[in-house]
Amino acid sequence: MSTSSGKTNRRAIVSFVLSLTSAVLVIGNLVGVGGFFDDYFEVSAFLAICLSIAGAVVGRKAMRQIKETGERGRGIARVGVIIGWVLTAVVVLAIAFTLAVAASWLLTPGW
């Protein structure tokens, strides 16, 4: 194990940025801020889930790399992984809820 503990792992930083960007998109979609989020809801929801998964995967790779190289950034990578998987779950649950509500609405007699 080398001791290059002076620098922060770049993958950890990328993971954190991807996950935070996904969080902004998810919060914007859930709150309905307006503007971009209203006009491109489907695009921003798809982008949010892709970025959150990417943030989690890159964060996990960063944690493995940090373990091998001894670089700094394990906490940043861990936060990227946690935020990434939590946001993925939130988006999937929101999509499932929306589909369930739409299905129950369409299956209601009198529609």
Q: Could you read off the pLDDT of 90-100 as tens digits, one per residue?
A: 888 888 888 89
87 in a domain, yes or no? yes
Distance between CA atoms of 63 and 74, rounded to whole angstroms? 6
81 in a domain, yes or no? yes
State the total domains in the chain.
1
92 in a domain, yes or no? yes
5 in a domain, yes or no? no
Question: What's the pLDDT score for residue 11?
Answer: 97
Q: Taking the model in full, what pTM does it have?
A: 0.80
Tell me phi and psi for residue 68, to 5 degrees.
-80, -40
Q: CB 105: neighbour CB atoms within 10 A?
A: 9
> Which residues have C-beta within 8 Å of that of residue 16, sequence separation ≥ 6?
55, 59, 76, 77, 79, 80, 83
Q: What is the mean pLDDT of residues 27-51?
A: 75
Residue 51 has pLDDT above 90, yes or no: yes
Question: Band of the pLDDT at 111, cuts 50, 70, 90?
Answer: low
4 in a domain, yes or no? no
What residue numbers bound the domain in which 15 lies? 10-106
37 in a domain, yes or no? yes
Q: What is the mean pLDDT of residues 73-82?
A: 97
2 in a domain, yes or no? no
111 in a domain, yes or no? no
Residue 3, token pair as written in the block:
């001791």
